[in-house]
Amino acid sequence: MKIDRLIGILAILLQKDTVTAPDLARHFEVSRRTINRDIEDLCQAGIPIATRQGQGGGIYIMDGYRMDRTLLTNVEMQDILAGLRSLDSINGTNRYGQLMEKLSAGSSDFLTGNQSVLIDLSSWYKSSLAPKIEMIRSSIDSAAELSFLYYAPKGESQRTIEPYYLIFRWSSWYVWGWCLQREDFRLFKLNRMEEVRLTGKRFERRKTPMPDLSNERIFPGGIQVKALFEPECKWRLVEEFGPECFKEREDGRLLFQADYTDKENLVTWIMSFRDKAEVLEPDWIREEIRESIEKMLGKYERRKFMGNLSCCGTDCQSCGCYGSMCKGCNESAGKVFHAPEGQACPIYECSVNQKKYQGCGECGNVPCEIWRKTKDPSYSDEEFEKNINERVDRLKGGKNGI
């Protein structure tokens, strides 16, 4: 665009004593005649540009103007260029690099070793983030509504917003906008947004408050945590909370204390250290972690010891129904019971699909009437009751399901 070229020419003239028209024409990939017209336009805009003939001559800005109107210092220019380069790291384009060249032309310090600040805002999710960022920017610029599927801790929902700001904070990208469903301003994390699209509807821009992104607002604290960490965890504690977050004990272990915000995040964070961390306080967090570990252990133990046991406690290999009436939970995921009729297993449907258990062993209502719906007609009542009792014994023995 012509305005970009004019700004580029002005930046070069402000940084170099003189420059020739052929040099400018080669740099901007236009004709010398176009450069001459651009110089005339800059003169008409009030920029005191002059020319000098002969060896060492060329186009230059009069010294008085240069001294009085210098736009940026070297440090300021380096900061701008570092920011522009970081934007290229997001979307993989060279759009900002091209502008960078225009601004830094004639001063190699900005693009060589003296460029001491390098910022990379890309992430593992660059391939999915780049198109979202471009679409959101387009939506903001054109005041167009944005629709997307949003995944939140309480479940997913379809949202439509009027976007106002793209924000990079806490190592992630967010969009700040007016949510039509909540009728209020909301902050949405781009990694949780899917099926992002423009609705085709325009909106009238609202008076938009800046989002309060202070740590005190987003991370208000409230959970006073005290925990012990093994010495090899020191690097992570320093990286995530700083060297003041712990005291080193005589045995080498690290006594960690912090004010944490969210229970779920705290439990997940502590468990990421596996057996290298132990919560001392508060007791209810300690209990929550213990229960989580027991549930995890139960799942792995069931897989280890149960083999072909089903969610109802039956050993499939010794069950008279297996093969003729039922293919077993492990093989058919409970979809086939009484194969000729193609029925779904009512026990599997109740325990796994409806109640979301691993098996009936997690339910306190066994045996129940649902089990009796699975009676093999060839079984006598006495044999069937014996079979049920054996299954219950297996479940109560700690083998809770598939």
Quickly list DSSP for 55-121: TT-EEEE-HHHHHH-----HHHHHHHHHHHHHHHHHH--SHHHHHHHHHHTT-GGGTSTT-------
Q: pLDDT tens across 175-189, in order?
A: 999 999 999 999 999
The pLDDT assigned to 254 comes to 96
**Four-residue CA torsion sign, 309, 310, 313, 317:** negative
Query: Across residues 45-63, what is the average pLDDT?
Result: 84
Which one has a higher pLDDT value, 301 or 351? 351
The pLDDT assigned to 136 comes to 93
State percent of the chain over pLDDT 70. 66
> How many Cα atoms sit within 13 Å of 22 on the Cβ side?
1
State percent of the chain over pLDDT 90. 27
The pLDDT assigned to 261 comes to 76
Query: Across residues 12-23, what is the average pLDDT?
Result: 85
Place 67 in a pLDDT band, splitting at 50, 70 and 90.
Answer: very low
Place 163 in a pLDDT band, splitting at 50, 70 and 90.
Answer: very high
Kindly tell me if the per-residue pLDDT of 36 is higher than 50: yes
The pLDDT assigned to 401 comes to 43
Q: pLDDT tens across 137-150, in order?
A: 899 999 999 999 99
The pLDDT assigned to 278 comes to 95
58-66 own/partner pairs: CB under 8 Å, 24+ apart: 58/18, 58/19, 58/20, 58/21, 58/23, 59/13, 59/18, 59/19, 59/20, 59/21, 59/24, 60/13, 60/16, 60/17, 60/18, 60/19, 61/13, 61/14, 66/14
The pLDDT assigned to 195 comes to 94
Query: Across residues 164-168, what is the average pLDDT?
Result: 89
Kindly tell me if the per-residue pLDDT of 400 is higher than 70: no
How far is 237 from 246, CA to CA, in rounded Å?
Answer: 8
Query: Across residues 266-293, what is the average pLDDT?
Result: 92
The pLDDT assigned to 182 comes to 93
Q: pLDDT tens across 342-358, in order?
A: 566 777 778 777 887 76
> Residue 339 carries which side chain, given as an amino acid letter?
A
Which one has a higher pLDDT value, 110 or 234? 234
Q: How far is CA 270 from CA 19, 106, 232, 260, 275, in A?
A: 62, 53, 15, 12, 9
The pLDDT assigned to 121 comes to 67
The pLDDT assigned to 78 comes to 66
The pLDDT assigned to 197 comes to 94
The candidate with the shortest Cα–Cα distance to 309, out of 333, 337, 335, 328, is: 328
Indicate the average pLDDT of the chain. Answer: 77
The pLDDT assigned to 211 comes to 81
The pLDDT assigned to 169 comes to 78
Q: pLDDT tens across 95-126, in order?
A: 666 666 655 554 444 444 456 666 666 666 66
Kindly tell me if the per-residue pLDDT of 395 is higher than 80: no
The answer to whether residues 309 and 399 touch, using CB atoms and an 8 Å cutoff, is yes
Query: Across residues 67-93, what is the average pLDDT?
Result: 61
